[in-house]
DNA sequence: CTGAAAGCGCTAACAT
DNA sequence: ATGTTAGCGCTTTCAG
């Protein structure tokens, strides 16, 4: 088998011009049906595989979409990426994935690389430090459309798919209040991203609307992992005026909280309720199962994809914002 | 800003030939240091970004590695992919990721696509149905090296990074025996892959070496998820002669088992021990935490990458097999 | 409906 | 050390 068959090989086998082969294989231009069939048969027979490198080069644009995320280890991002790839591939796009590792510098390098690859479009969730500047903005110069999901820089002029985090936190607190909780703490993040700020704001507003006092000492901050939740739960529970409900900004944190609470013998949810964010499958493994604020990933994926494709197809940038409404998934911890 | 700057733009700005620019930017050939600096400065100033599409096309090979996995949702694969991407990117490769969705047909399409993209190399874990044929074999015709990890087709003539699953299961059973268990059940998979067969064989051998009888009714089969483990645990525990230890072929299954056992009030590990495979972080969320057979992902990633790069660099296919030795991570369930 | 010509941006090989 | 030439495989444009 010849190592690489080109359209010219197919053409010469058939004694016709390679341009006709090109046309036939792509179903464009006018080619007699008979010829077209003949060409396809021969191409198949010879094992011809279109050289995407040449095609992309010639077309000055790769048929590839890029996804940039902080990492692939969190279930939220890996599920997003997984779903996005499926729908993109169905639509005939290839997907390149990049992890910024939550590092702004790496994110910038990735963006340069994206430009080099002339990707057709980009979907991104920015690093924890990408707040006051928008490194993706240079994509506009290259006419590469992009969409932010979940996390976006402040005041970014770009298409965005965001979750109504305010509402999610608000509903979570309200759920705990309804089940009789009165001293609800919040474990927040160290970072200044809107998603974290909004959750905090929703928490505060829910307290207020339910006639509960907002107390500074009921707010603590944690990193991203289970152990961080465990540690902060300890701090909260050693206060004189213990909480009887804890909202965590992530499910992993919430699980850490539950682990600590069980260690000290607190009953969940009788003595204290716990709610997390993300609908992470890990929440199903703990006991009781973690009640969580779900941000529908399929909805985010679909919206991101639509927003991106719209821009690609119309060759016009859009700055549309889509807001996904979250939903509380009631399990055992409230 | 001009939408796309090419080396010719840089060249004409400097009144020199574009080939010199090409050489300077790639640090190849001989270019006077002074000229080189000048060129780099100007390129930077103009915002020149090398057109990877053209480079790849011209070089007839993309500087891209492909990773093909059944899915990205399982923590095992997402962690592998995440780690692999990091090390590949550090080495200057881009990475394309593909999900076969455990479907052989999709896997074949992906392989065609890989060839079209002229990727430099492929790392793959095959679908549950890719057993008796090796669809990746056609990559050899295209001179694209590949490495299987974790799962490979039977008798594949290809580089492979496999885990000693026999030993993992053997050690897991032995651990349970040491803690006094005598009726150890195994929840196996429905599929005929070597990894599953090896685990079963290791289980059997460990029973034998410990003087325990092998009993057909202590083997059941489950799907991939928590609920499957839950269901099979129920079946096992409703037998007249209940097990006092359960080995599960995956951590998610093991977690389902634990959930069922706790539901019926069994004490873990006093009444019954549980061990899983994969060191899935989910195992940390349940209580007691799940003891597991760890297959070192960093080791698998490093070996896969080395095996692949070795082939790429030497332009020679290798059929080397690397075996990763598993390790029991003792947590609370034994 | 088919063919001929040209060129995308880059780099290897050869020439100066 | 730099320039010239040629061409990768494909597709668009124009001619017939």
Highest averaged pLDDT of the listed ranges A31-40, A51-60, B18-27, B296-305: B296-305
B65: closest chain A residue by CA: A96
Chain B residues touching A255 at Cβ < 8 A: 285
| E strand spans, chain A | 64-69, 94-99, 121-124, 146-149, 159-163, 184-189, 219-222, 245-248, 273-277, 291-294, 321-324, 327-329
Contact B282 A285 (CB under 8 A): yes
Closest CA–CA distance from residue B206 to any residue of chain A (Å)? 29
Q: What is the pLDDT of residues A282-308, one digit of tens each?
A: 999 999 999 999 999 999 999 999 999
In the prediction, which pLDDT does A286 show?
A: 94
In the prediction, which pLDDT does A259 show?
A: 97
How far apart CA B302 and CA A11 sit, in angstroms, is 44
A257: closest chain B residue by CA: B285
Nucleotides of C under 7 A from a protein CB: 1-5, 7-13
Suggest the residue from A53, A61, A230, A278 to mutate for an interface test with chain B (most B CBs closer than 10 A).
Answer: A53
Closest CA–CA distance from residue B210 to any residue of chain A (Å)? 32
Report, as an integer, the average pLDDT of A32-50: 90
- CB-based contact (8 Å) between A3 and chain B? yes
Q: Is B150 left (phi over 0), alpha (psi -120 to 50) or beta?
A: left
In the prediction, which pLDDT does A3 show?
A: 66
Query: What Å value separates CA A68 and C1' C15?
Result: 46
Q: If 0-12 CB within 10 Å is exposed, 13-18 middle and 19+ buried, where does residue B24 land?
A: buried
B3 falls in which pLDDT band (50, 70, 90)? low
A1, pLDDT greater than 70: no
Closest CA–CA distance from residue B283 to any residue of chain A (Å)? 7
Cα diameter, chain A: 90
How far apart CA B262 and CA B272 sit, in angstroms, is 11
Measured from Cα to the C1' atom, the residue closest to C5 is A19
The structure's pTM equals 0.92
Tokens in use for B162?
A: 């496999």
What backbone torsions phi and psi does residue B142 show, to the nearest 5 degrees? Answer: -95, 5
Tokens in use for A186?
A: 């919040």
How far apart CA A75 and CA B155 sit, in angstroms, is 34
- CB-based contact (8 Å) between B255 and chain A? yes
Q: What is the pLDDT of residues A138-191, one digit of tens each?
A: 999 888 999 999 999 998 999 999 999 999 999 999 999 999 999 999 999 998
Place of tokens 């900004």: A249
- Using a 7 Å CB cut-off, which residues contact strand C? A 16-17, 19-20, 23, 29-33, 35-36, 57-58, 60; B 4, 6-8, 18-19, 22, 25-26, 28, 50-51, 54-55, 57-59
Q: What angle do CA B218, B223, B226 make, to 5 degrees?
A: 90
In the prediction, which pLDDT does B10 show?
A: 93
The arrangement of strands across the sheet holding B184-189 comes to B219-222, B184-189, B245-248, B273-277, B291-294, B327-329
Helix (H) or strand (E) holding B64: strand B64-69
- CB-based contact (8 Å) between A82 and chain B? yes
- Using a 7 Å CB cut-off, which residues contact strand D? A 4, 6-8, 18-19, 22-23, 25-26, 28-29, 50-51, 54-55, 57-59; B 16-17, 19-20, 23, 29-32, 35-36, 57-58, 60
How far apart CA A182 and CA A185 sit, in angstroms, is 10
Measured from Cα to the C1' atom, the residue closest to D5 is B19
Q: Are strands B327-329 and B291-294 parallel, antiparallel or unpaired?
A: antiparallel
* Nearest nt by C1' to B29 Cα: D1
Which residues 262-291 of B have a C-beta within 8 angstroms of A?
262, 281-287
What backbone torsions phi and psi does residue A110 show, to the nearest 5 degrees? Answer: -60, -40
Q: What is the pLDDT of residues B183-198, one digit of tens each?
A: 999 999 998 889 999 9
Counted residue by residue, chain A has a size of 334
* Nearest nt by C1' to B5 Cα: C9
- In this complex, which of B99, B115, B143 lies closest to A49 when CB atoms are compared? B115
Q: What is the pLDDT of residues A101-116, one digit of tens each?
A: 999 999 999 999 999 9
Q: What is the pLDDT of residues B275-290, one digit of tens each?
A: 999 999 999 999 999 9
How far apart CA A285 and CA A225 sit, in angstroms, is 16
Nucleotides of D under 7 A from a protein CB: 1-5, 7-13
In the prediction, which pLDDT does B1 show?
A: 45
Q: What is the pLDDT of residues A243-261, one digit of tens each?
A: 999 999 999 999 999 999 9
Query: What Å value separates CA A116 and C1' D2?
Result: 27
Query: What Å value separates CA A19 and C1' C4?
Result: 10
Which residues 8-27 of A have a C-beta within 8 angstroms of B?
none
B39, pLDDT greater than 80: yes
Contact B255 A53 (CB under 8 A): no
Q: Are strands B321-324 and B219-222 parallel, antiparallel or unpaired?
A: unpaired
Contact A143 B3 (CB under 8 A): yes
Query: What Å value separates CA B65 and C1' D7?
Result: 26
Chain A residues touching B73 at Cβ < 8 A: 75, 78-79, 82
- In this complex, which of A71, A86, A116 lies closest to B51 when CB atoms are compared? A116
Closest CA–CA distance from residue A248 to any residue of chain B (Å)? 15
The rounded mean pLDDT for chain B is 94
- In this complex, which of A94, A115, A287 lies closest to B49 when CB atoms are compared? A115
Report, as an integer, the average pLDDT of B305-333: 95
A82: closest chain B residue by CA: B72
Chain A residues touching B230 at Cβ < 8 A: none
Residues in contact with B164: Cβ distance below 8 Å, sequence separation at least 6, in sequence order: B198, B323, B324, B325, B326
How far apart CA B175 and CA B273 sit, in angstroms, is 10
What backbone torsions phi and psi does residue A238 show, to the nearest 5 degrees? Answer: -95, 0
Closest CA–CA distance from residue B118 to any residue of chain A (Å)? 7
């Amino acid at each position: 088998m010849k190592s690489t068959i080109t359209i010219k090989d197919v053409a010469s086998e058939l004694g016709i011009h390679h341009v006709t082969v090109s046309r036939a294989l792509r179903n464009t231009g006018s080619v007699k049906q008979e010829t077209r069939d003949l060409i396809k048969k021969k191409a198949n027979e010879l094992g011809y595989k279109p050289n995407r490198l040449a095609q992309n080069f010639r077309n000055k644009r790769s048929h590839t979409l890029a996804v940039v995320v902080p990492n692939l280890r969190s279930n939220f991002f890996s599920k997003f990426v997984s779903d996005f790839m499926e729908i993109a591939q169905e639509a005939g796009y290839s997907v390149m994935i990049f992890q910024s590792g939550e590092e702004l510098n790496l994110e910038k390098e990735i963006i340069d690389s994206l430009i080099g690859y002339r990707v057709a479009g980009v979907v991104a969730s920015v690093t924890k430090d990408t707040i006051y500047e928008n490194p993706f903005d240079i994509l506009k110069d290259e006419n590469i459309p992009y969409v932010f999901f979940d996390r976006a820089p402040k005041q970014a002029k770009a298409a965005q798919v965001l979750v109504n985090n305010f509402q999610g936190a608000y509903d979570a607190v309200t759920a705990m209040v309804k089940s009789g909780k009165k001293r609800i703490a919040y474990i927040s993040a160290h970072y200044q991203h809107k998603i974290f700020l909004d959750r905090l704001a929703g928490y505060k507003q829910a307290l207020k609307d339910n006639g509960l006092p907002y107390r500074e000492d009921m707010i603590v901050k944690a990193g991203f992992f289970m152990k961080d939740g465990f540690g902060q739960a300890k701090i909260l529970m050693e206060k004189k005026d213990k909480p009887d409900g804890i909202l965590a900004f992530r499910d992993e944190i919430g699980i850490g909280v539950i682990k600590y609470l069980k260690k000290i013998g607190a009953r969940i949810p009788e003595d204290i309720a716990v709610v997390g964010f993300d609908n992470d499958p890990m929440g199903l493994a703990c006991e009781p199962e973690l009640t969580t604020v779900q941000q529908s990933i399929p909805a985010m994926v679909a919206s991101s994809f639509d927003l991106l494709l719209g821009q690609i197809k119309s060759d016009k940038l859009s700055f549309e914002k889509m807001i996904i409404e979250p939903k509380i998934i009631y399990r055992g911890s409230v």
